[in-house]
Structure 1
Amino acid sequence: MTQHLRGILALLLVTIVWGTTFPAMKDLTVHFSAAWIVFVRFAIASVLLLPFLVRGTRRDIVNGAVLGLLLYLCYALQVEGLALTSSNRNAFITGLNCVFVPLIGVFLGRGVEKRIVLALVLSVLGLAALCWDGGRWTFGDTLSLACAVSYGFYIRMMATRTQQATSLMTLTAAQIVTVCVCAAVWLLLHEVPRTPVDLPNDYNDYWEYIGRSLAQHWLNFAWLGVICTAAIISLQSWGQRHTTANEAAVMYAFEPGAAAVFGYFWINETLTARGWLGAALLISGMIVSQWNTESRPAASLAPE
């Protein structure tokens, strides 16, 4: 087996693992707020990637921190949206970030390419079919779409920062730690009770519930933090080193499809024939938007 084929298989595995994050987080939204899910997941990954941060340069750490602030917004919108819509719809809508990247370039003054127009048409038709399958457009879908737009800006910013990076792993570790810190600050300011409000045992009840829920769902968090965030980054880095930009783009476009499959087996979510038609149109739009791009997809080492 050649290194090139191994690289393709590595990115295929990356895409499959990324697909599991949607049902895994959807399962957790029943018991935790978005801030708790993001905090625990990235706290676990931060511990594992800390050595790259310690050995990194100041410029990589600062750039990673800036990217991490925007990445936290992406995750907050994604998980909040996930709590209000199905993991299938969330996955396909947020997957549109790769279409928004070139669209943002158009708004910033770049010329309109035919492939972008075609990608946009396919994506709009796909969204229409998906909504026709799963009911009217919801606020959760709006949050998911806002996540896709935010992720588009994040990817464009990452394209610039990665070119300046001495170590991509340090840049990534700084992002992950920043996301963790942002989630912790949000929890302290908006969710964690600091004083008894109504009853003397309110404070203890809160921590008892969190502790009990963490103990019950530790496997989901371990999967998200260790495998989907920390471990998969190394495999993604190696795989992209041995494949082309177009091959990586095609692989990543199938992530929502993987999410739909795992959504069925993990939390019993299904798509009808119309839903799968919408999914196929969306995936086609994602592939077209990235096909024959000038360089490797800028989402390199961006955890899903």
Structure 2
Amino acid sequence: MAVVAAPRPLTGAVLLLFVSAAWGSAFPLMKDLIHRLPVEDLLAERYLLAGVTLLVLKPGCLRGLARHTWRNGAILGVMFGVGQAAQAVALHSLPSSVSGFAVGCSVVITPILALILHRTKVQRQIWAGVVLALAGMTVLTLLRGVEQHEVSLLALGLTLSAAALYSGHTLLLAHLTKKAGGFPWYPLTVLQLLTIGLLTGTVAVRDGISVPASGPDWLIMAHLSVVSCALGFLARAYGQAHVPAVPSQILMSTQPLWVAAIAVIWFHEELTGSMVVGGAMMAGATLLALQTGNAAQGKEHRRRDLLAIRGRAGMVLADLKIKREDPLRLEGGPAPYIAKSACANTAVCPWHTRSLKGGGEPSLERLIARATIIVQAKSLPGLGCCRSVTLLGRCLCDLMEQSGEVHTTALHRWFRSE
């Protein structure tokens, strides 16, 4: 099982920016390919090829996985797969700029969901990054001009629902990275991709599966599968282990910036003022996300260090703990007796201190046996009955001697000679 060790915010940020660039490059390619390939077929083939590619690169990645890892991978795949299907279906009835802006609204939905579901306090710096990212997205999409295309409210609602699912996917993935026992980012990515492929393939198989008919279409499919899905999902899973959820979403919301950059570099579009302003806003949001991610990861790392130190200190204190021995040990065997001569002066007898309360024999059987010995010792000459160790035995001995001298007392009936 793969384990993500010490936080590396800069590495995570670079990977998440790569995810944004990979997904941004896939957006125009996918919009072009759905005119020649059904949406369900495109999604099924894209994600199945991505999952199989990762499985071929690491065949034993799914061996010995825990049950909760399979469950989490399936849930993440369903969430993202339904969002992809809804976005692709709505793309027929929405301009690309409107669709891109609606999907980018996940940057606002993510902190709201984090506040509602996890009671996560959103810092002002994070909100500033969210506002900057949304403003930059608006400039790069809507203000650049909307194509002459009718906007369907149903399609817009589907795209916003897909954005909400993407936000939930981000929060769940961030939650899984914090669980004890390590974060299996590679097998979890494979499970997600295969789940999305099987989910969309179940819908696509009803009318038969269509495949790309030309070489360029296969190249587009390869880019969508290997670069955007396989590498993109891997980079996202590993990157989110080092950057918190909301800053991660801010970094991944820079897709319109990469789309604009690709349009200028590869398709030789004119660089406009809206691109420059939107890009500057996106860059500011990225910087805020990096600073917030570094601060959050630093606090989390310090908290884990303190917990580890506390655990080690507890173990050391437990090893140094002195166990007291019980001074009152009850020894077995017959009751001890001393010589007759010791009874001449009971104040100096060794057993006198043991005759105090609590120092006697706790066993009722021993008490009865001691009383029997004392009664039997009455007939012995001298101080035979005073050989008893306990205070009770000495008291009974004194009472028996008094009963022998004073016959008029009430004790005469109980301690008379046969």
Q: Please, what TM-score do these two structures have when normalized by structure 1?
A: 0.71
Q: How far has the Cα of 1:25 moved from its partner?
A: 1.0
Q: Aligned pair in 2 of structure 1 residues 240, 133: CA closer, same or farther (>3 Å)?
A: closer
Asked whether 1:179 is paired with 2:179, we answer no
2:151 matches 1:138: yes
Render the CA deviation track for 1:123-178: whole Å, top value 9, x for unaligned.
55456544343239933554433322221111112222333465111111111111
- Displacement of 1:75 in angstroms is 1.1
Give the alignment of 1:148-297 within 5 angstroms.
148-164=163-179, 166-189=183-206, 192=207, 210-211=210-211, 213=213, 217-234=217-234, 252-263=252-263, 273-274=273-274, 277-278=277-278, 280-281=280-281, 284=284, 288=288, 291-293=291-293, 294-295=296-297
Structure 1 alignment gaps of length 5 or more: 194-206, 297-304
In 2, the alpha carbon distance for the partners of 1:84 and 1:100 equals: 23
Q: Larger deviation: 263-272 or 9-18?
A: 263-272
Pick the structure with greater CA Rg: 2
Structure 1 equivalent of residue 84 of structure 2: 75
Q: Distance in 1 between matches of 2:13 and 2:189?
A: 22
Secondary structure, counterpart of 2:37 in structure 1 = coil
Give deviations 1:30-49, integer Å, cap 9, x for gaps: 12232222111111012122
- Cα contact 1:18–1:228 (8 A) shared by 2: yes
Shift of residue 62, structure 1, vs aligned partner: 1.5
Aligned residue for 2:116? Answer: 107
Q: CA-atom RMSD, angstroms?
A: 4.0
Contact 1:23 1:262 in 2 (8 A): no
Please give the alpha-carbon distance, in whole angstroms, between the structure 2 residues aligned to 1:124 and 1:5: 23
CA distance in 2, matches of 1:151, 1:101: 9
- The equivalent residue for 1:61 is 70
Q: How many residues align?
A: 276
Letter in 1 for 2:142: C
Compute the displacement of 1:18 (Å). 3.1
Equivalents in 2 of 1:75, 1:237: separation in Å? 18
1:103, distance to aligned residue in structure 2 (A):
1.5
Aligned position for 2:105: 96
In structure 1, the residue matched to 2:405 is none
Letter in 2 for 1:133: R
TM-score (ref. length: structure 2):
0.54
1:63 is aligned with what amino acid?
N
Does 2:49 align with 1:40? no
Are the counterparts in 2 of residues 253 and 286 from structure 1 also a CA contact under 8 Å?
A: no
Contact 2:260–2:275 (CA under 8 A) maintained in structure 1: no
C-alpha distance in structure 2 between counterparts of 1:185 and 1:65, whole Å: 15
The gaps in structure 2 that reach 5 residues or longer are 1-7, 299-418
Letter of the aligned partner of 2:220 in structure 1?
N
**C-alpha distance after superposition, 1:70-106 (max 9, x if no partner):** 1111211232344444545544542332332111122
Aligned-partner Cα distance in 1 for 2:215–2:107: 36
CA deviation map 1:252-290 (0-9, x unaligned): 453331122224566787785346545654665576467
SS in 2 for 1:217: helix
Aligned to 1:301: none
Deviation sequence 1:197-249 (CA, Å, 0-9, x none): xxxxxxxxxx6xx34636661111111112222234555667778x7669977
User: Does residue 1:27 correspond to 2:32, yes or no?
Assistant: yes
The answer to whether the 8 A contact 2:133-2:250 is kept is no
Cα–Cα, structure 1 residues 100 and 212, in superposed 2: closer, same or farther, change >3 Å?
Answer: closer
Q: Does structure 1 retain, via aligned residues, the 8 Å contact 2:76–2:169?
A: yes
Q: 2:115 and 2:151 mapped to 1: Cα distance?
A: 28
Name the stretch that deviates more: 98-107 or 272-281: 272-281
- Counting helix residues as a fraction of each chain, which structure ranks higher? 1
Q: 1:265 to 1:144 in 2, by over 3 A?
A: farther
Partner of 2:310: none
What is the DSSP-based 3-state SS (H/G/I as helix, E as strand, rest coil) of the residue aligned with 2:65?
Answer: coil
Quick one: higher RCO (CA 8 Å, sep 6+), 1 or 2? Answer: 1
- Aligned-pair identity in percent equals 24
SS in 2 for 1:31: coil
Between the aligned partners of 1:8 and 1:123, the Cα distance in structure 2 is 15
Match of 2:128 among 118, 121, 126: 118
Aligned partners of 1:79, 1:271: CA distance in 2, in Å? 28
